[in-house]
Structure 1
Amino acid sequence: MNKSIYIMALGAFGIITTEFGVIGILPALVKEFHISVDTAGWLLSGFALTVALAGPFTNMLTAKMNRKIIMCLVLAIFVISNLLSAIAPNFTVLMIARIIPAFLHPVFWAVAMTAASKQAGPKDAPKAIAIVMGGLSIATVLGVPLTTYVADLFSWRASFVLSALINLFAFAALAIFVPSMPVTEKQANPKSQLQILSSVQLWIRLLTSTMILAGMFATYGYLAEYLDKVSKMSGVQISIMLLIFGGTGILGNWLTGIALSKNIQLTSRVFLIALAIMHLLAYQLGGFFIPMVTILSVWGFIHTGGFLVANLQVINGVRGPKLDFVNSLLPSFFNAGITLGTLLGGFVIAHYGVHEVIWMTVFLLLISFSLSFVKIKESRKKPAKSTEPVELDFVQ
């Protein structure tokens, strides 16, 4: 694979470390600024909400910018944001420093995904996207624990400095080694990009992705609680299990990319069924330590590939400048799915107990599986006075 793809994966690692790295230092921030835990939680939820709302608009505004320049700009803003966070004198300044880069977060993802797929070519596009998505997987496995460790070793401010350094390193690599990527398509304008929103099939695929993420996080969002209450694991054991879960997920993400290169539709359906089966096994054997360790290892292996499955089943067949726009929609729908899943999972836990949350995940995954069979034949009418091709066909 082109080295540029790995550099973009490094940028993804820096961005996700910035987004989720705050999770491990929330207790320290509560003490530092004398705020409640739910208020501190807005550092994460506020970031995610901004990403969800801003994605399509920020991408349209930057549609004509050189792809290398916009990615460098995003990473530079993330560097500045982390440095401002490190010296924040109060919670308000910290919140502002966190929200600013969230506006451009989806732009980096949209551009990186599109650039990676174009550089690799149609055949190897899933593998290339899997590499970039690997930056997300590694950030959740290593980035978050690393920033938490640095905060414990020095202070919470040091964790933001570390995130700044990671993004700075990615910025330098991108600026030095990645070639210029000018936008050459004549159609790269908001009106042309918005054309694809007339595709009913696209909306079905976006809904499917939302349900996939909701299903993944309905239980995963409360996994530590599940291991505590159902599996009766200690805090140390839970930490080790989560590390194993994420570690096998890195391998799973890579192999899922290879499988998707061969058949996107079949791989997506196998993924959904396999993930549902692992949840059912966890429901039946969650109270037994050794079986649960094995289940978690396989569960993590399957789970992380879900981000890639949800991504590729949407963009499959979308070409040209519209691909940037569709990719920019994905963070919004991914965040919506995560929010929906955690809300529904929390509802089940509150009313029926944490053990029963498994059934909500299975239900949502089955909805996603059913939606994968829905096919809508698209209209291919062209505007009367337009020479632009209408690219609304979807390759199966």
Structure 2
Amino acid sequence: MPLALLALAIGAFGIGTTEFVITGLLPQVADSFDVTIPSAGILVTGYALGVVAGAPLLAALGSRIPRKRMLMLLMGLFVLGNALSAVAPDFGLLLAGRVVASLAHGAFFGIGSVLAADLVAPHRKAGAIALMFTGLTVANVVGVPLGTLVGQHFGWRTTFALVAAIGLVGLAGIAALVPARPGPGAGHRPGPGLRRELAAFRNVQVALAMAMTVLGFGGVFAAITYIAPMMTGPAGFADSSVTWLLVLFGLGMVAGNLLGGRFADRALMPLLYVSLGALSLTLLLFTFTAHHQLAAAITIPLLGAFGFATVPPLQKRVLDQTADAPTLASAVNIGAFNLGNAVAAWLGGVVISAGYGYTAPNLVGAALTASALGLAVLSSALERRSRAAVPVPLG
């Protein structure tokens, strides 16, 4: 694999770390600004909404800018947002820093996916995308626990300063390793333009792929958002055990991402059938295994593995359906992941508030993922019908 993918993975590691590390730092942040933890929780919501809004906005603004240059600008924006968070004198500016950093998230992964796929042979595209996303998954194994530990011992501002430094390393790596070669937006020539990028959304297969993204990976977040009360309640784990349980989840994400990238290049839709079906079944079983420590510890990495095994094929599905103008659609699909996360987490909270218990979000996740599987079957059926309707030339 090209060294340029390493630079993209470093940027992804920084983005993944800053997205999730705030959950472990909320008590310290709340104490610093004398706000309640629920009020500090807007730092999580604000970031997610920034990703959803920033993905299409910045991808559209960058549609005429070479991809390497745009990725460098996005990493610069990411560094700025985290630096602002590190020195924020009040809660409002900290929230602003989080939002600034989040704006780069969707466009970086969207444009980075297109560039990663462009760097390798056609039969290795999903593997290249998965390698970039490895940075995001490794962030959950290394970056988030380490960032939380640093924040607890040296202050949360130090964590954001370190994340900004990681962003600078990613920026330098992109500048040094990503080739500025001629191509559709990859080098000196600009991309296909906003009108052509928008036209890609008329394709029903693009809409179906994005709906699968919202529902499929969203199912994971219905469960994982409430993993702490679920494990310290029904499962009976100590509070200190949640950290290593999340590490297990992260390890599953790494494995699922790499396997998903490998097999998506060989059989994309069959892989989606298997991963979405297995994920739905695992979420259903988690309703019961969450009451037993060993069973829960086995189920959690499976959630990460089956959940992230869907990411490379879903991202490649969008790229395959928008081959002539993929940048905006690719970025919007990253926003779809975060939209699904937000909606699923909200639905999980609804069933808990309704009195169904801390394991009820797993049933919500199973239903969402099963719906995504149904859409995958529908997408394949429509594709087969479309191919059958194309007349075969005589002679």
Q: Give the TM-score taking structure 1 as reference length.
A: 0.90
Residues 342-392 of structure 1 deviation map (CA, whole Å, 9 limit, x = unaligned): 111111122211223222122111111111121446999xxxxxxxxxxxx
Offset at residue 147 of structure 1 (A): 1.3
> What pairs with 1:160-199 in structure 2 (closer than 5 Å)?
160-181=160-181, 183=185, 188-199=192-203
Percent identity for Structure 1 against Structure 2? 27
Contact 1:275 1:303 in 2 (8 A): yes
Counterpart of 1:332 in structure 2 is 335
Contact 2:66 2:191 in 1 (8 A): no
Question: Which amino acid counterpart does residue 349 of structure 1 have in structure 2?
Answer: I
Residue 69 (structure 2) pairs with residue 41 (structure 1): no
Give the secondary structure class of the aligned counterpart of 1:170.
Answer: helix
How has the CA–CA distance of structure 1 residues 54 and 82 changed in structure 2, closer, same or farther, with 3 Å as cutoff?
closer
Contact 1:213 1:310 in 2 (8 A): no
Offset at residue 190 of structure 1 (A): 0.9
Contact 1:86 1:157 in 2 (8 A): yes
Distance in structure 1 (CA, Å) of the matches to 2:60 and 2:289: 48
Give the secondary structure class of the aligned counterpart of 1:249.
Answer: helix
Counterpart of 1:109 in structure 2 is 109
Question: Which amino acid counterpart does residue 221 of structure 1 have in structure 2?
Answer: T
Question: Which amino acid counterpart does residue 364 of structure 2 have in structure 1?
Answer: M
Give the secondary structure class of the aligned counterpart of 1:267.
Answer: helix
How has the CA–CA distance of structure 1 residues 218 and 179 changed in structure 2, closer, same or farther, with 3 Å as cutoff?
same
Residue 276 (structure 2) pairs with residue 291 (structure 1): no
**Which of 347, 355, 369 is 2:350 aligned to?**
347
Please identify, of 182-191 and 133-142, the stretch whose mean Cα deviation from structure 2 is larger: 182-191
Residues 126-148 of structure 1 deviation map (CA, whole Å, 9 limit, x = unaligned): 10000111111011221111111
How has the CA–CA distance of structure 1 residues 284 and 138 changed in structure 2, closer, same or farther, with 3 Å as cutoff?
same
Counterpart of 1:393 in structure 2 is none
Contact 2:10 2:170 in 1 (8 A): yes
Offset at residue 316 of structure 1 (A): 2.9
Distance in structure 2 (CA, Å) of the matches to 1:289 and 1:20: 24
Counterpart of 1:76 in structure 2 is 76
Contact 1:123 1:261 in 2 (8 A): yes
Counterpart of 2:361 in structure 1 is 357
Counterpart of 2:208 in structure 1 is 204
Residues 10-59 of structure 1 deviation map (CA, whole Å, 9 limit, x = unaligned): 11111222222222211111111111222212222112112212321221
Distance in structure 1 (CA, Å) of the matches to 2:294 and 2:100: 45
Give the secondary structure class of the aligned counterpart of 2:326.
Answer: helix
Contact 1:66 1:181 in 2 (8 A): no
Q: Give the TM-score taking structure 2 as reference length.
A: 0.90
Which stretches in structure 2 are left out of the alignment for 5+ residues?
387-395
Contact 1:209 1:314 in 2 (8 A): no
Counterpart of 2:252 in structure 1 is 248
Question: Which amino acid counterpart does residue 318 of structure 1 have in structure 2?
Answer: T
> What pairs with 1:1-396 in structure 2 (closer than 5 Å)?
1-181=1-181, 183=185, 188-320=192-324, 322-351=325-354, 352-375=356-379, 376=382
Contact 2:114 2:319 in 1 (8 A): no
Contact 1:213 1:341 in 2 (8 A): no
Contact 2:85 2:157 in 1 (8 A): yes
Offset at residue 335 of structure 1 (A): 1.5
Distance in structure 1 (CA, Å) of the matches to 2:10 and 2:35: 34
- 4+ residue runs over 3 A deviation: 184-187, 375-380
Give the secondary structure class of the aligned counterpart of 1:206.
Answer: helix
Contact 1:199 1:378 in 2 (8 A): no
Please identify, of 123-132 and 187-196, the stretch whose mean Cα deviation from structure 2 is larger: 187-196
